Structures are given as C-alpha cells and as structure tokens.
C-alpha cells in the first residue's frame, strides 16, 4: 500500500515537472505569465482543477467497477456455502490461488453466459475484488488450463492492477485536460493580438480545446496501452508462479488456438484475456501483447 502511494505521489510530481519543463521549452510559460496578469487567469488553479477533474471520473469508475460488471455482464456470483460441482471447484481454486498470492480477503467468483473463451478480474481494491469466467472458457478448456487463467486473474488482483491503471488514467486525464486548455489559450491569445479589436476569440479557443483534447487523449492512450501490456506480462508471470508455468503456457496456447477459430472483436472491453489482432502502428494501441510473445517469454523463463 505505502509503495503504491509513494509511486502515485512520485508520478504526480513527475507529471507536474514534465508539464512545467514542456511549457518552458515551448516558450509557453512566458505567454502564461502575461495572460495571468492580462486576463486575471491563474493556471496553477487550473492545474489543481484538472487534477481533481481528471481523477474524479477514474476513481468513480474504479469504485463502481465490480457493481457495473455484475450488472452489464449478467454475472452469476457463486455462493461458496452452497456451491457444488464445477462451481465449488472454481471457488476452491480461486481461494487457494488467492491465499498463495497473499490475499487476506477472498475474491468473489462468478460465471457469465458467453461463447467466448474469456475471463476477467475487477474490483476497486485487493480486498474487494471479483474473478469471473465465461461458460465458453469452462466448456473449451481443460482444468489445468482453467487454473492457469485463474492464476493470471488472481495475479492481477494481487498486483493491484485495477488501482494502478486507475491512477495512471487519472494522471493522463489531468495531463490532457490541463495541457489542451493551456495550448488552446496560448494560441487563441496570440491570434487575438493580431485582431484590431484585440478581443479574446472564445469560439476559436473552444474549437482548439476540443481538437487538443482529442489529439492528447490519443497520445495518452498510447501510454495507458503500453503499461497495460506490461501488466499482462507481469500477470502471466504471477499466474505461472501461482498455478504452475506449464498451466499458464497451456492456457495461453489454448487461447492462441481459439483465436484462430473465433472472431473476438466483440469481446467485452474489460475482459482480461481480450486479444487484439492489430498489427503495425495500431499495435501500439493494443492493451494485450501478442499471445506468441507471451508464450515465448514464459517458455524461456523471461519473467
């Protein structure tokens, strides 16, 4: 927990420092200082507002993640006290893996109806989490492969990936909101000075803000996607340690073979095992690395 808080604070410091350096290098700081005195605008207050604004949506999304998953996916949450057959086996496996991972509060376990071979983990904290698997996964995987998948999802929870991704998204949101408004303001102000009436072009400012919001959001998504790919490798490694490397490799190989048979373009966005077939530049926006590379790393012990 303290490590994550430290990383969170450090990330914010680095983001603020990056913004300051970037604005200074681009010569924007000079215009900001002039604008603050000329238009009585406080960009420091704007930065604080953007941090609050950027994090609010991300934190609300995190807080509601488990509730929304249950509602949107039609999850059947298994009651451990009444579970029998495959359901009891699932709960037992998840809880065993969770204890191995050092979790003190067991995740909820759920099944949802879908032909997709898929699974995901969600929840706002390590002590308030959920692991869900599709009926398609249970029908198409051996039990060893299922355990590999469960180990991967439990590793996501143990690593605090849901919280970390939320913090990263909050930082990106704040960066986009602040920088797009500063750039739009500076350009609009510079253009207004060539106007005979020297009036502030509010319409132009709004248009530029909208454009910069889109551009910077796309750039920010590259950062989020890159970190997401990194956390997938880390969850694979965690799954290998918890369930066994051969089970994790078998699960990924099954997914690779299944990928050749089904079109997974309609897979739920939150699913941890969603695989992208994007290539070239579009691969930079993929949240998951290629299955072949994930398997190769595990086979070579590069984790």
Catalytic residue set: 153
Structure tokens at 13: 């410091």
- Tell me the C-alpha to C-alpha distance, in Å, between residue 101 and each of 26, 30, 106, 243: 47, 52, 11, 10
Beta 76-77 vs 108-112: how paired, if at all? antiparallel
Neighbouring-strand partners of residue 134: 112
* CB-based contacts of 280, cutoff 8 Å, min separation 6: none
**What are the φ and ψ backbone dihedral angles of 35, each rounded to 5 degrees?**
-65, -35
Tally of residues, the chain:
303
Q: Which two tokens stand for residue 87?
A: 């359901």
Closest CA to 147 of 244, 8, 36, 47: 244
Interacting residues of 45 by C-beta distance below 8 A, sequence separation 6+: none
Instruction: Sort 199 into a burial class: Cβ within 10 Å, 0-12 / 13-18 / 19+.
Output: exposed
């Amino acid at each position: 927990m303290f490590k994550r808080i430290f990383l969170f604070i450090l990330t914010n410091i680095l983001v603020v420092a990056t913004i300051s350096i970037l604005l200074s290098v681009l010569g924007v700081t000079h215009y900001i200082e002039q604008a603050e005195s000329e238009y009585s605008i406080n960009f420091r207050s704007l930065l604080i507002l953007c941090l609050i604004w950027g994090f609010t949506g991300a934190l609300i999304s995190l807080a509601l993640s488990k509730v929304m998953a249950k509602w949107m996916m039609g999850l059947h949450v298994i009651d451990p006290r009444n579970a029998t057959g495959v359901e009891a086996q699932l709960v037992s496996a998840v809880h065993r893996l969770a204890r191995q991972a050092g979790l003190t509060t067991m995740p909820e376990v759920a099944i949802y109806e879908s032909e997709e071979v898929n699974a995901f983990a969600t929840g706002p904290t390590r002590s308030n989490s959920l692991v869900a698997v599709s009926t398609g996964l249970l029908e198409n995987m051996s039990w060893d492969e299922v355990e590999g998948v469960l180990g991967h999802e439990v590793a996501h929870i143990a690593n605090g990936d849901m919280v970390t991704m939320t913090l990263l998204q909050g930082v990106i949101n704040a960066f986009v909101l602040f920088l797009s408004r500063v750039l739009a303001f500076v350009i609009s102000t510079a253009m207004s000075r060539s106007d005979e009436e020297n009036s502030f072009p509010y319409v132009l400012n709004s248009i530029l803000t909208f454009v910069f919001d889109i551009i910077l959001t796309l750039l920010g998504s590259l950062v989020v996607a890159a970190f997401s790919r990194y956390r997938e490798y880390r969850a694979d490694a965690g799954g290998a340690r918890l369930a066994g490397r051969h089970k994790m490799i078998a699960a990924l190989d099954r997914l690779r073979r299944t990928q050749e048979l089904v079109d997974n373009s309609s897979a739920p966005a939150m699913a941890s095992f969603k695989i992208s077939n994007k290539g070239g530049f579009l691969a930079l926006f993929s949240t998951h690395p290629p299955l072949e590379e994930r398997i190769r790393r595990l086979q070579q012990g590069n984790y």
